[in-house]
Amino acid sequence: MSNHRFTVYESPLGPLTLTGDGAALTGLWFPSRGPAHDDADHRPEDFAAAIDQLEGYFAGARRAFDLPLRPRGTPFAHRVWAALRRIPYGQTASYGALAQRLAGDQRGAWVSPRAVGAANATNPISIIVPCHRVIGSDGSLTGYGGGLQRKRALLDLEAAGDGAQRAARAGGRCSRDGAGAREMVRLRGGVSRAAGAWSSPK
């Protein structure tokens, strides 16, 4: 048995493969992506907390994840992935906005939006490190490792959850019914207009 452990979570968007090293999550992959696995390394008990938080996310009850993560990548990729995690739930950012944020973090040194896009594409922990919140400067969805239908569904889910929380604060009611949550994330066309755009601080 190696230190490369995995399990498969049957999510509303299809099976998601979670990988870890026994102490932290190292990957979350859509079908046909990610590394190969040995059946001897199937350790579902290692991923109970991650699956519980994913269930809450898909139910619309969780807006952020609190899990130990250990993705593998270059120092620049890690900076990009950290910036992804600062995009608020229910909002989106362009590659240019992320580049501006990173440039601000290093006191004005120019950062290429193309380099940001390349690092975004190598993110090994989908959903939890929310690369689905990055869109083109013209508002187009651009690419996504899980497919554009799943990207639409994730953005729709977050837009619906964000709107429901605003309604709840205003005195409305928000159902946490599991069947309703799964209906929210069915693969459908079009991103909800409730999704907002995140802009980097000046």
Looking at the annotation, which residues are catalytic? 131
Token match 């004005």: residue?
108
Dihedral sign (CA 145, 7, 90, 188): positive
- Long-range pairs for 79-83 at CB < 8 Å and ≥24 separation? 79/105, 79/119, 80/116, 80/119, 80/120, 80/123, 81/119, 81/123, 81/125, 81/129
User: In this structure, what are the phi and psi dihedrals at residue 36, rounded to the nearest 5 degrees?
Assistant: -75, 160
Q: Within 10 Å of residue 37's Cβ, how many Cβ atoms? A: 16
> Letter for the amino acid at 185?
V
Please state, as a whole number, how many other Cβ atoms lie within 10 Å of the Cβ of residue 167.
12
* Residue 105 half-sphere exposure toward CB, CA atoms < 13 A: 14
